[in-house]
């Protein structure tokens, strides 16, 4: 049930920060993320024709249609951002790859959002990947809005679905709308707070009609099967009175999710969802840097890079760094400082991305994601400021689950390979480890498809044919210690199992979980970590 008084938006009309909503959609493959993205963009007026996002998959030439592997497998490998306006708000929708082999990319993207929409297939409930992505959101206290999709098909009982969300995710639920029938009897939704009905047969999801409450005869008209209306009334009453009311604070803290029911394919319920995002989803939040919390309303520009994308346009061999603006105002042409190197960088052509196009951004505010074209200057995790020496935390690197040694067929190209791997590592395509014993580089990935992407890109972009060889190592961990001497001692005595990552940080590689445990026990002063924040 909705408490209208609690949901008054901030001054979204005039304040550029208050009107930003930066979010991602999380779901299990096939739940309807692409379809929903399409419909959201349609509402935003960002695209004229639904189906344009999908076109990405159908190989109609679009900007993400650049890589053979993506074509062959029909998967979207890239993460991108789509900016659109709706009502008083500017939405930045950050797309995440659907395939779990690219989950690292998704995790990094989730560091750049302020909220997420969780799409659930009404017939399936919470599926494995939804659950995993939800856990990532929870770690970062990202508030979740739930969209129960595919109500136009055979669906599970809504109470059962809500119960599953509560139990499996340990998340309170507050339905905002309630389905009127489901499957072939799906007739629309009832807005529990407003007492209004959105009819499935109304034109283009536009208007709602007022009702006097659940007793209204409209429900008898909509639910015509024997006894259906009576059962529905009982359920709706229970939903209205028995479930938790919406509580903005609990939502913003990540304890409660407002739930919308609909059908992305039928473009139904999407407007309620987007209105809900405008009303409840938080504007850009403060971001943690090493020295302090940076508030979005601070006047000086700061931002961090969470994604690098190469070859977005086959005609221009450019490399785009996606930066989330954390504070201040980014002006085209301004000089920023790249904190990692201390060097200035001119932001001469920052870009906004829309469904299909990109355009030069003259200015951007906290919450916005801009693409910065560069030739390898920027890497994932980089912080840009107007001079301040701070580094944003939290773009993580996860210990890879698969390790492979690179086999180069042409030994003359070793130097070129080294450079190419450096680039690929900086883009986050794979992780690159250089063994201390001088042997060929080891690459680490979370999902096997990343290996295919690397191989294909090395061939296509650098003319480097490579293969992979198994290595005796199966696990790697970043190692640190409070006392440098402890770390040096460990490194000194484990030379052949040590490597350095891109930043030169030491990494211990173990052959089995057993041997890792053994080493951990023998070196209590050394910390073995499976997550590393960039920087
Ligand atoms: P994604 O893998 O999560 O991006 O899912 P898609 O958006 O590609 O949808 C997967 C399939 O479900 C496609 O065939 C869609 O047409 C279909 N689909 C998506 N939303 C709905 C819906 O609301 N109702 C029905 N019946 N099918 C849907």
CA 263 / ligand 1 centre spacing (Å): 9
* DSSP state letter for 185: G
The rounded Å distance from CA 352 to ligand 1 centre is 27
User: What is the per-residue pLDDT across 412-438, written as a single tens digit (0 to 9) for each?
Assistant: 899 999 999 998 998 889 999 999 999
In the reported structure, the alpha carbon of residue 73 is separated from the centroid of ligand 1 by a whole-number distance in angstroms of: 18
Q: What is the pLDDT of residue 93?
A: 93
CA–centroid distance, residue 31 to ligand 1 (Å): 6
* Nearest Cα residue to 506 out of 528, 525, 474: 528
Q: How far is the CA of 121 from the centre of ligand 1 (A)?
A: 9
Average pLDDT over residues 477-495: 95
Burial of 461 (0-12, 13-18, 19+ CB in 10 A): middle
Closest protein CA for atom 24 of ligand 1: 150
Confidence band for 64, pLDDT divided at 50, 70 and 90: very low
Task: Report the nearest atom of ligand 1 relative to the CA of 263.
Answer: 23
Whether 99 shows a pLDDT value over 80: the answer reads: no
Q: Which residues of 199-215 are buried (b: 16+ CB within 10 A; e: fewer)?
A: bbeeeebeebeebeebe
Average per-residue pLDDT for the chain: 86
pLDDT at position 140 is: 87
pTM: 0.85
Lowest average pLDDT, out of 56-60, 407-411, 458-462, 486-490, goes to 56-60
Which residues line the pocket of ligand 1, CB cutoff 6 A? 27, 29-35, 98, 149-150, 152-153, 263-266
pLDDT in tens, 523-535: 999 999 998 865 4
Pocket probe mutation, ligand 1, options 24, 30, 64, max atoms within 8 Å of Cβ: 30
* Banded model confidence at residue 410, pLDDT cuts 50, 70, 90: confident
Interface confidence, given as ipTM, is 0.99
Mean pLDDT within 325-340: 96
Structure tokens given for 236 = 């709706």
DSSP letter assigned to residue 330: E
- Looking from the CA of residue 38, the nearest atom of ligand 1 is 7
Nearest CA to ligand 1 atom 25: 150
Q: What is the CA(30)–ligand 1 centre distance, in A? A: 6
């Amino acid at each position: 049930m909705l408490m209208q008084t609690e949901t008054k938006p901030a001054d979204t009309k005039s304040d550029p920060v208050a009107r930003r909503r930066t979010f991602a959609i999380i779901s299990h493959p096939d739940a309807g993320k692409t379809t929903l993205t399409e419909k959201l963009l349609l509402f935003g007026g960002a695209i004229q024709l639904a189906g344009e996002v999908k076109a990405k998959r159908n190989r109609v030439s679009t900007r993400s249609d650049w890589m053979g592997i993506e074509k062959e497998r029909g998967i979207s490998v890239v993460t991108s951002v789509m900016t659109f306006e709706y009502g008083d708000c500017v939405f930045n929708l950050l797309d995440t790859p659907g395939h779990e082999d690219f989950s690292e990319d998704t995790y990094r993207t989730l560091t750049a959002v302020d909220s997420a929409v969780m799409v659930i297939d009404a017939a399936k409930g919470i599926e494995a990947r939804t659950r995993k992505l939800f856990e990532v959101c929870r770690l970062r206290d990202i508030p979740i809005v739930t969209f129960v999709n595919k109500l136009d098909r055979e669906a599970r009982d809504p109470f059962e679905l809500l119960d599953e969300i509560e139990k499996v995710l340990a998340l309170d639920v507050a339905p905002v709308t309630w389905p009127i029938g489901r499957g072939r009897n799906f007739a629309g939704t009832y807005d529990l707070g407003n007492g209004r009905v959105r009819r499935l047969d109304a034109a283009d999801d536009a208007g709602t009609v007022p009702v006097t409450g659940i007793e209204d005869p409209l429900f008898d008209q909509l639910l015509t099967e024997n006894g259906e209306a009576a059962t529905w009334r009982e359920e709706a009453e229970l939903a209205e009175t028995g479930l938790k009311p919406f509580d903005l604070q609990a939502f913003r803290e990540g304890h409660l999710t407002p739930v919308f029911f609909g059908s992305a394919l039928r473009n139904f319920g999407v407007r309620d969802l987007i209105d809900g995002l405008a009303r409840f989803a938080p504007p850009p939040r403060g971001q943690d840097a090493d020295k302090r919390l940076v508030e979005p309303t601070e006047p000086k520009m700061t931002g961090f890079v969470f994604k690098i994308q190469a070859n977005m346009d086959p005609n221009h061999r450019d490399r785009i760094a996606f930066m989330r603006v954390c504070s201040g105002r980014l002006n085209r042409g301004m000089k920023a400082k790249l904190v990692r190197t201390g060097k200035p960088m001119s932001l001469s052509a920052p870009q906004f991305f829309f469904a299909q196009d990109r355009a030069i951004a003259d200015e951007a505010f906290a919450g916005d994601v801009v693409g910065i074209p560069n030739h390898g200057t920027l890497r994932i995790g980089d912080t840009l400021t107007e001079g301040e020496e701070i580094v944003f935390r939290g773009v993580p690197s996860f210990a890879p689950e698969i390790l492979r040694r690179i086999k180069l067929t042409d030994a003359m190209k070793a130097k070129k390979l080294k450079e190419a791997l450096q680039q690929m590592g900086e883009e986050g395509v794979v992780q690159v480890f250089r063994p201390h014993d001088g042997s060929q580089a080891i690459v680490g990935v979370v999902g096997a498809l990343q290996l295919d992407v690397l191989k294909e890109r090395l061939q296509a972009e650098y003319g480097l044919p490579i293969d992979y060889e198994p290595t005796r190592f199966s696990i790697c961990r970043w190692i640190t210690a409070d006392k440098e001497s402890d770390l040096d001692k460990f490194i000194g005595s484990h030379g052949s199992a040590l490597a350095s990552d891109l930043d030169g940080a030491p990494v211990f590689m173990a052959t089995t979980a057993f041997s890792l445990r053994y080493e951990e026990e023998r070196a209590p002063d050394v910390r073995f970590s499976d997550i590393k924040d960039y920087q």
